[in-house]
Amino acid sequence: MQVERYRKPTRFLHWAIAVSYVVLFITGLLIFLPAPISLLAQDSFTRIFHRVFSIVFIGAPVIYMLTNWKATVKGITEAFKWGAEDIGWLKAAPRYYFLCDEECMPPQGHMNSGQKLWWLMVILMGGLLVVSGLVMWLLKTVAPAAVLQWMVFAHDVAFIASGSMFFVHVYLSVMHPLMRPLNTGAWASMAYGKVPAEYVKSHHAKWYNEEIAPAQKPEVESPRKHPARVT
């Protein structure tokens, strides 16, 4: 049995951000590389690519929020909501990821603690990238030099932090032994929107027990709806 994990709008948002971020990361990375490669980042076609895909990076979440407000609020709330189970997850994470011990993890909801960390990074570092990038792009001729210098610094910090987490995210979602084969786990949820029920039971037991399992139980027909016939 398959369980729907992400709807189409959420998957579209994910891939729009992922593709645009990869382009932004590559075109931004050129600045940090030695000459002559770094020269490609100086008022060349790479700057055009960077600005075009920055619009996608900003526009996709805005469109999603306007058309899926309830899902947006739910996702942000869940990412910032932490409890004892999340602390337990963090303590068990080394054993889970390095020793592949799937029994050590406490039951998780729709979003596990690792995914919460990732979304916190996306929200905070993504916001910092957007704000600092827009200031450098649109206000570079009017903003004070000190402000621009701080924006460059903030942009670089967000670039390094988000880039590091991005590679960790890709590895844990696609290449980690517990995520194989690719038709199960995180990859399947973002590629097709659905995952096997067994995966949900083992990786998101709290979500399964509280929402999925009750929804699968057939409703018991009340005898009052069909009173016995009197003859």
Q: For 9-65, what is each residue's pLDDT tens digit?
A: 999 999 999 999 999 999 999 888 776 666 666 767 888 899 999 999 999 999 999
Check if the beta carbon of residue 118 is closer than 8 Å to that of residue 93: no
Q: Considering the chain, what is the average pLDDT of its residues?
A: 87
55's tokens: 């619009």
Domains of the chain, each with CATH number or no CATH: 2-206 (1.20.950.20)
Q: 2, 194 in Cβ contact below 8 A? A: yes
Supply the DSSP symbol for 14. H
DSSP annotation of 40 reads G
Coil vs helix vs strand at 28: helix
Structure token pair of residue 145 = 């030099």
Q: Maximum distance among all alpha carbons in the chain?
A: 97
Least confident of 66-75, 79-88, 174-183, 194-203: 174-183
Global confidence as pTM: 0.85
Return the pLDDT at 149: 96
**For residues 51 and 85, what is the distance between their CA atoms, to the nearest angstrom?**
41
Position 61: which residue type? P
Range in 65-69, 84-88, 112-116, 196-200 the model is least confident about: 196-200
CA distance 148 to 37: 24
pLDDT band at 230 (very low <50, low <70, confident <90, very high): very low
Cis peptide before 36 (omega within 30 of 0): yes
